[in-house]
């Protein structure tokens, strides 16, 4: 692995992974490293050190006319400072560092008259934002990183860190932010265990990742699901305390509702004759593929009508696996889960008031949503 040695207070410090560019730029990076690590003052970094380094990089492009080959090494050579900020938990400074770098990169690109790939910058910045707890910014940046990678590779599923992150590629070793990806995957394990028990299957999280998250034709499904999963994880493991209140109720209901939207779109993505079908018809397509006898008419004319008459009683019967159709057939666990998702979709779309029932049974409803999503992945996306 290439490296650069710098002297800090009479000690030689190694900058591993340094990529040599040319004599002038290498010397500029040496001064940049020595100045920062001798006095890691963030205000000096932004005011003096980065502008000076940027001038040398712009001069390099003018001297060489290089439009492609050195852009990746230049970005990679900036990471030691970011890693220092990250390791010292100066997360806001670490975010601001990449924000400033983006401004310089845009300036370099404009003066070169050529595009500079920013996928790595968005990835580093996005992961830092997520570590700081800003999921919205972090996932927007991860999506920007993914789009940059698609543009650069001309592939819808590029073998890049951003795509590995959002597709929960916990199997990829030596991956930045892998610990977070593994944590999200671990969060799914109890729900997968429940699904295997309810469905009588051996479906694993590896199967789910490879068949659904990594290979779905609609990449927005992957981003949407992983973002929802990150919000759920934050509630449970990141000490995000949600009080029993109108807002807390709406927040939790919105998470299940958003999962139900992913469920509907995931079926649409595989139903060749969906033609803007409503949820009961989409569900019937899934039910038939899974050899389950529940029909769209039974969802609409029985379960939904009962929910309109007495929502709480219908939901409790479905949760407790005690719902019987007019023909006295009791629904299976997975059929009840599909009925629950249908009722929750309708309820969330038309009601904003708090419900003790949904609040008190949040994890059961969440398990039902995951059951349906895992069923979709196994039956519609698992092509062997």
- The whole-angstrom separation of Cα 235 and Cα 249 is 13
| Displacement of CA 347 from its chain's centroid (Å) | 27
| Residue appearing with tokens 């299940």 | 256
- The whole-angstrom separation of Cα 62 and Cα 64 is 6
- Cβ–Cβ < 8 Å for 91, 113: no
- The whole-angstrom separation of Cα 72 and Cα 149 is 13
Write down the pLDDT at residue 273: 80
Would you kindly state where each structural domain of the chain is located, as residue ranges? 3-180, 246-381
- Cβ–Cβ < 8 Å for 104, 123: no
* CA-closest candidate to residue 199, choices 369, 335, 362: 335
* CA-closest candidate to residue 104, choices 64, 155, 169, 45: 45
- The whole-angstrom separation of Cα 24 and Cα 283 is 63
User: For domain 3-180, which CATH number applies: 1.10.287, 1.25.40, 3.40.50, 2.70.98?
Assistant: 1.25.40
Write down the pLDDT at residue 70: 63
Write down the pLDDT at residue 114: 74
H helix intervals, 269-350: 279-289, 296-298, 305-309, 311-319, 333-350
User: CB count, 10 Å around CB of 244?
Assistant: 11
Write down the pLDDT at residue 351: 60
Mean pLDDT of residues grouped by 10 in the chain (384 residues)?
79 84 92 94 95 92 70 88 95 96 88 81 96 95 94 90 92 87 94 96 94 88 95 79 73 91 94 81 96 96 93 94 92 97 84 71 95 97 77
Write down the pLDDT at residue 121: 95
On the 0-12 / 13-18 / 19+ scale of CB atoms within 10 A, 72 is: middle
């Amino acid at each position: 692995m290439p490296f650069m040695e710098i002297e800090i207070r009479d000690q030689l410090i190694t900058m591993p992974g340094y990529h040599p560019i040319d004599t002038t730029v290498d010397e500029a990076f040496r001064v940049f490293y020595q100045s920062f690590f001798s006095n890691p003052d963030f205000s000096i970094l932004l005011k003096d050190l980065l502008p000076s380094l940027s001038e040398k990089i712009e001069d390099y492009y003018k001297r060489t006319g290089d439009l492609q080959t050195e852009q990746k090494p230049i970005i990679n050579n900036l990471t030691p400072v970011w890693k220092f900020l990250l390791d010292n938990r100066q997360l806001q400074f670490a975010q601001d560092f990449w924000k400033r770098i983006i401004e310089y990169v845009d300036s370099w690109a404009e003066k070169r008259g050529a595009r500079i790939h920013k996928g790595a910058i968005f990835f580093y910045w996005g992961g830092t934002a997520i570590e700081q707890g800003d999921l919205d910014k972090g996932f927007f940046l991860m999506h920007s990183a993914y789009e940059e990678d698609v543009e650069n590779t001309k592939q819808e599923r590029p073998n890049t860190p951003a795509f590995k992150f959002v597709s929960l590629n916990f199997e990829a070793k030596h991956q930045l932010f892998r610990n977070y990806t593994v944590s999200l995957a671990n969060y799914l394990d109890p729900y997968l265990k429940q699904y295997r028990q309810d469905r009588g299957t051996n479906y694993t999280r590896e199967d789910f990742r490879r068949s659904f998250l990594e290979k779905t034709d609609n990449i927005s499904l992957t981003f949407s699901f992983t973002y929802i999963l990150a919000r759920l994880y934050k509630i449970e493991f990141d000490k995000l305390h949600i009080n029993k209140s109108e807002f807390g109720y709406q927040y939790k209901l919105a998470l299940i509702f958003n999962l139900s939207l992913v469920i509907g779109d995931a079926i649409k993505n595989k139903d060749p004759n969906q033609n803007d079908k409503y949820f009961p018809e989409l569900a019937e397509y899934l039910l038939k593929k899974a050899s389950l006898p529940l029909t769209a008419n039974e969802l609409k004319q029985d379960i939904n009508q009962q929910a309109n008459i007495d929502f709480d009683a219908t939901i409790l019967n479905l949760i407790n696996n005690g719902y019987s159709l007019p023909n006295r057939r009791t629904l299976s666990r997975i059929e009840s889960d599909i009925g629950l998702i249908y009722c929750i979709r309708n309820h969330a779309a038309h009601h904003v008031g708090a419900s003790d029932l949904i609040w008190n049974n949040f994890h059961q409803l969440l398990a039902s949503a995951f059951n349906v999503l895992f069923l979709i992945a196994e039956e519609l996306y698992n092509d062997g």
